[in-house]
Structure 1
Amino acid sequence: MRAARYYDNRDIRIEEIEDPTPAAGEVLIDVAWCGICGTDLHEYLDGPIFCPTHDTPTSLTGETAPVTMGHEFSGVVSGLGEGVDDLAVGDHVVVEPYIIGDDVETGPESRDYHLSPGMNFIGLGGAGGGLAEKIAVKRRWVHRIDPSIPLDQAALIEPLTVGYHAVERSDAKAGDVALIGGAGPIGLVTAAVLKAQGVTVIMSELSELRRQKALDAGVADHVVDPRSEDVAAKVRELTDGRGADVAFECTSVQVVLDTLMDALRPRGVLVVASIWGHKADFDMHRLVMKEIDLRGTIAYVNNHPATITLVEEGKIDLAPFITGKIGLDGLVDEGFDTLINRNETAVKILVSPSGEGL
């Protein structure tokens, strides 16, 4: 089968590799669609980060580079390993793409398996990936979805679950006002979850396309261009002088972090959802004087079932966020290049590893 293989910084190759076979307790999936994530771009530009090197394996899989990429994907079950009897060939599924130690409790009550030592992600740290025609995944990480959800939209359930967990971390509730810094994929899906839960959403974003996308998709009540408006002043105007109850930093840009601090009300909650590749110049005095509650969020933990339900019940429409579809051969030149150099023109670009659906 064909797969996108990560060799090193700025070195991703489309190659022929052996088809996987499902071991006991595993599910074989024909990949339908796989999204390109900001983390993939970080690996390409600045990595390896989650990916292994040629000499240093990831801590749990033992794999060294090259590894297959892709962790935002949907597909159809095509085979079942020994002992898997609660799925059937033909089921539509998405994957919670974790690589986690066998000794870690990952049951439905766990709230911290995503923070366990050595945690990594399928499609980054090894164990196959969604930027391939097929993948074998442990049953624990495979989630059945209703076939009424189109498989291209289903590929966005993984980033949507990131947004769901970020909202969960914020303790936002119906009637609150949220400010989101950045209307990229994670900002937009976070907004979608907030709107589904009755929160008023204000988004700050430079890109006209992404601001319009937030409005057209119905996930933002107000959008602000930070080049032409004072974002914090606009938030106070919209909240009768109070400020936002919660804010989500989705850019890893210093000026955005500063703006969110300004726009939050006293005792507001600031959730950092982006991956920072550098240290922030954080104004600790402002945090203290406003009693801001600063929280980090990473990925998800037992959030997929609730997120899938939101989509199946029609409370979130993922279709508006898909702005491009490409084949595996266009991954770098059409996909990565667009998202790195012209990211104001796109939101989520999906890849069809088999070429079907293009």
Structure 2
Amino acid sequence: MKALRYHGRADVRVEDLPTPDPADGEILVRIATTGICGSDIHEYRGGPLAIPLDTPHPLTGDRAPVTMGHEFSGTIVALGSGATGLRVGQRVAASAVLRCGTCPSCTAGHPQLCRTLGFHGISGGGGAFAEFDAFPAYLANPLPDEISDEAGALLEPLATGIHAVGRSGLTPGQSALVVGAGPIGLMVVVAALAAGADQIIVSEPSPVRAKAAARFGATAVLDPKADDVVARVRELTGGHGVDAAFDTAAAPTSFDTALAAVRPRGHVVNVAVWENPTPLQPNALLFSEATITGSLAYTPAEFTRAVEIAAGGAHDLESMVTRSIALADVVTHGFERLAADPGADIKVLVRP
């Protein structure tokens, strides 16, 4: 079969691999569609950040080259021994969070903070930029008929948005600022609406992404190239600031903007993957008593919630997809193009 393999920074290749057999506790899935995630592009352009390069990953035992791809949907074609609760022919989407299940974080219900955390499609053990993918059955989430294969590949980023909103403590009737309207930013908008936010302001310079933010439910969309975002947020919130601000952009001024836009004792959530350090002025914390927190991936319950939201049909998740490409084109028309300039793209799907 064909699969996209990560060898190192700016070095990904479509190669021939044997079709995997599902090991004990695994399933084998014929991949329908796989999303190119922002974290994939970070690994390509600035990595390796999470991909094991020199030392094998403690959960998978793999190191580069590894097969990439962690946002996907497909159909089960084989079950390994010990893979229960699933059946051949069932459509599934998969969580990417590999965990040990025994460390303090796992036993406390936070597998995304596992002591030996890994990600399927990043840490080895298979990946979905391939015709077939074998992975642990505990990652699989059955898809109802209401969710298309394309929307199924968007559940992983939606679960990430749900977790980020949960980390913010956002409650019904509150307000939010989302800095960046890429796929994760848009999913934060969807999750904030589902949490009951009544005012969601988005900062985004791309006209295509700005229109998508409005379509997904933002009550106001600002252009950071033309607007003083912090001043406009204050104006829109009666001078108070938003209850929660989310940085999904990892841009030079995005974190400062998020921190300056929250109300006193508001919450700033970093959802972005940063390729380089960014400065922080602690006085901004001193005088606002704001809380800064990180948000990594999601829990199994939050992935289940993503399935529920998508099945409910309140949002046309598929409208986020701007291109679909073949696996043979994923290097030039996917990774190289998105790393150089995403342009009008929001979400690019690969069809192995």
Structure 2 length normalisation: TM-score?
0.95
Partner of 1:47: 47
Question: 2:61 is paired with a residue of what secondary structure?
Answer: coil
| 1:196–1:315 Cα contact (<8 Å) kept | no
Q: Shift of residue 321 of structure 1?
A: 0.7
Matched, 1:185 2:201: no
| 1:193–1:316 Cα contact (<8 Å) kept | no
Matched, 1:75 2:74: yes
The one-character-per-residue Cα deviations of 1:313-356 (angstroms, maximum 9, x if unpaired) are 22333111111100111112111233222323110000011xxx
Question: 1:188 is paired with a residue of what secondary structure?
Answer: helix
Q: Shift of residue 4 of structure 1?
A: 0.4
Partner of 2:150: 152
Give, in whole Å, the separation in 2 of the partners of 1:345 and 1:338: 11
Write out aligned runs for 1:162-311 (5 A). Answer: 162-199=160-197, 200-215=199-214, 217-302=215-300, 303-311=302-310
Partner of 1:92: 91
Q: Shift of residue 245 of structure 1?
A: 0.8
Q: Shift of residue 275 of structure 1?
A: 1.2
Matched, 1:345 2:344: yes
Partner of 1:121: 119
The one-character-per-residue Cα deviations of 1:105-160 (angstroms, maximum 9, x if unpaired) are 798x8432211222111111101001011111111111111022110111010011
| 1:105–1:113 Cα contact (<8 Å) kept | no
Structure 1 length normalisation: TM-score?
0.94
Write out aligned runs for 1:302-321 (5 A). Answer: 302=300, 303-321=302-320
Where does structure 1 lack aligned partners over 5 or more consecutive residues?
Answer: 354-358
| 1:205–1:224 Cα contact (<8 Å) kept | yes
Give, in whole Å, the separation in 2 of the partners of 1:106 and 1:82: 28
Give, in whole Å, the separation in 2 of the partners of 1:236 and 1:221: 14
Aligned identity (percent) is: 38
Q: Shift of residue 310 of structure 1?
A: 1.0
Partner of 2:5: 5
Matched, 1:19 2:19: yes
Give, in whole Å, the separation in 2 of the partners of 1:321 and 1:30: 23
**Aligned residue pair count:** 350
Give, in whole Å, the separation in 2 of the partners of 1:2 and 1:124: 17
Further displaced range: 308-317 or 152-161: 308-317
| 1:178–1:244 Cα contact (<8 Å) kept | yes
User: What CA RMSD, in Å, does the superposition of the two structures yield over aligned residues?
Assistant: 1.6
Match for residue 141 of structure 1 among 139, 150, 156 = 139
Give, in whole Å, the separation in 2 of the partners of 1:259 and 1:49: 25
Matched, 1:38 2:38: yes
The one-character-per-residue Cα deviations of 1:167-222 (angstroms, maximum 9, x if unpaired) are 0101111111100111111101111111222212100011111101111x232111
Question: 2:115 is paired with a residue of what secondary structure?
Answer: coil
Give, in whole Å, the separation in 1 of the partners of 2:273 and 2:47: 13
